[in-house]
């Protein structure tokens, strides 16, 4: 196989990470004897088991794919070199059932993207939050229904922008649903807040790590009631509302800092995934 195909594998890494959040890179690093693949041959394995590139095919490649898929499902995978023997039996390493008689060592590594901060609302707070998110090493996506608040002059070139309607009726999270998502709802009014929250609950992203809603306690209560009336349940969803840590300040920049501080705190698991209710807290101290 031409070596020209393998740089293409590496070029696809960014594309796959942007869509899926993680991918396993498998590369043959050493061989002995007769082997179907050679050192330097590479393969990317998706979470679902599909692959880009190849290591030589056959049972060997199927074993590597299975091992890489297992690593992708681990919480904190670490890179490792695995040895595969092209024999029906092996004293050490993994036998492939093949009869070439050689051996290949493959380095398996799970590559992950930065978490994705989704900002619903491109107003002053949303703009400040996009800046804060990038400073905290998050990728950022801003969803907004007003074209003037998605203008390229308002955000850095690396910020993704998603045009939605006022009801957030589209599946605006579809292309990033496999990413680790941190969602901040900071739209212009309670109606669009309700629409954005209902849309997130409807789409139910599988890797939702944080969901916050900006507003006073009265506004938060109104939004929650609207969402429940619309048939969407908050059961099992940790909604941080009012959003942000209580650090004081009310400018867009200060609000963005308080939100980002709470998000970073949640990401580093310094607070419970599901906030405790007042009743639970009283029970503890009672």
Summarize pLDDT for 217-274 with one digit per residue, the tens: 999 999 999 999 999 988 888 999 999 999 988 899 999 999 999 999 999 874 444 4
Whether residue 44 contacts residue 38, with contact meaning beta carbons closer than 8 Å, is answered with no
pLDDT at 194 exceeding the cut of 50: yes
pLDDT at 87 exceeding the cut of 80: no
Nearest 5°: phi and psi at 15?
A: -60, -45
The pLDDT, as a whole number, for residue 90 is 55
The residues near 280 (Cβ < 8 Å, ≥ 6 apart) are none
Q: Residue 10: which pLDDT band, with cuts at 50, 70 and 90?
A: confident
The residues near 51 (Cβ < 8 Å, ≥ 6 apart) are 43, 44, 45, 61, 65
Instruction: Identify the top-confidence range among 106-115, 138-147, 276-285.
Output: 138-147
pLDDT in tens, 37-85: 899 999 999 988 888 888 988 888 999 999 999 999 887 888 999 999 8
Residue 234: count other Cβ atoms within 10 Å of its Cβ: 14
Mean pLDDT of the 24-37 span: 91
> What's the CA dihedral at 158, 163, 166, 168 to 10 degrees?
-80
More reliable by pLDDT, 271 or 207: 207
More reliable by pLDDT, 94 or 75: 75
The pLDDT, as a whole number, for residue 12 is 86
The rounded distance, in Å, linking the Cα atoms of 186 and 122 is 8
Whether residue 33 contacts residue 104, with contact meaning beta carbons closer than 8 Å, is answered with no
pLDDT at 142 exceeding the cut of 70: yes
Strand partners, 210: 182
The pLDDT, as a whole number, for residue 122 is 97
Residue 21: count other Cβ atoms within 10 Å of its Cβ: 22
In a 13 Å sphere around the CA of 237, the CA atoms on its Cβ side amount to 26
The pLDDT, as a whole number, for residue 96 is 53
Q: Residue 102: which pLDDT band, with cuts at 50, 70 and 90?
A: confident
H or E stretch covering 31:
strand 22-32
Where do the domains of the chain lie, and which CATH numbers do they carry?
5-112 (no CATH), 116-278 (3.40.50.720)
The pLDDT, as a whole number, for residue 76 is 80
Mean predicted lDDT score pLDDT of the chain: 87
Locate tokens 């942000």: which residue? 244
pLDDT at 279 exceeding the cut of 70: no
Residue 263: count other Cβ atoms within 10 Å of its Cβ: 27
Sheet of strand 22-32: strand arrangement: 51-53, 42-45, 22-32, 103-112, 80-85, 94-95
The rounded distance, in Å, linking the Cα atoms of 10 and 96 is 26
Instruction: Return the sign of the alpha-carbon dihedral for residues 249, 252, 253, 258.
Output: positive
């Amino acid at each position: 196989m031409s070596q020209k195909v393998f740089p293409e594998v590496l070029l696809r890494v960014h594309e796959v990470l942007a869509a899926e959040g993680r991918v396993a890179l498998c590369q043959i690093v050493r061989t002995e004897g007769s082997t179907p693949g050679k050192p330097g041959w590479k393969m990317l394995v998706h979470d679902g088991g599909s692959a880009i590139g190849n290591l030589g095919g056959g049972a060997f490649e199927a074993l590597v794919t299975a091992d890489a898929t297992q690593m992708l499902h681990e919480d904190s995978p670490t890179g490792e070199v695995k040895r595969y023997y092209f024999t029906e039996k092996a004293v050490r390493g993994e036998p492939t059932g093949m009869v070439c008689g050689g051996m290949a060592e493959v380095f398996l590594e799970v590559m992950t993207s930065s978490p994705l901060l989704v900002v619903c609302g491109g107003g002053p707070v949303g703009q400040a939050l996009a800046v804060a998110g990038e400073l905290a090493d998050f990728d950022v996506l801003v969803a907004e229904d007003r074209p003037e608040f998605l203008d390229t002059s308002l955000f850095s070139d690396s910020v993704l922008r998603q045009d939605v309607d006022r009801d957030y009726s589209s599946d605006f999270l579809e292309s990033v649903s496999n990413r680790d998502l941190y969602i901040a709802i900071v739209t212009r009014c309670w109606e669009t807040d309700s629409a954005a929250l209902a849309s997130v609950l409807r789409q139910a992203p599988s890797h939702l790590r944080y969901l916050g809603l900006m507003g006073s306690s009265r506004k938060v209560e109104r939004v929650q009631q609207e969402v429940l009336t619309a048939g969407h349940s908050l059961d099992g969803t940790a909604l941080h509302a009012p959003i942000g840590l209580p650090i004081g300040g009310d400018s867009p920049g200060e609000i963005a800092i308080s939100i980002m501080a709470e998000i970073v705190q949640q990401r580093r698991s310094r607070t419970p995934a599901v906030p405790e209710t007042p009743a639970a807290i009283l029970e503890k101290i009672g």
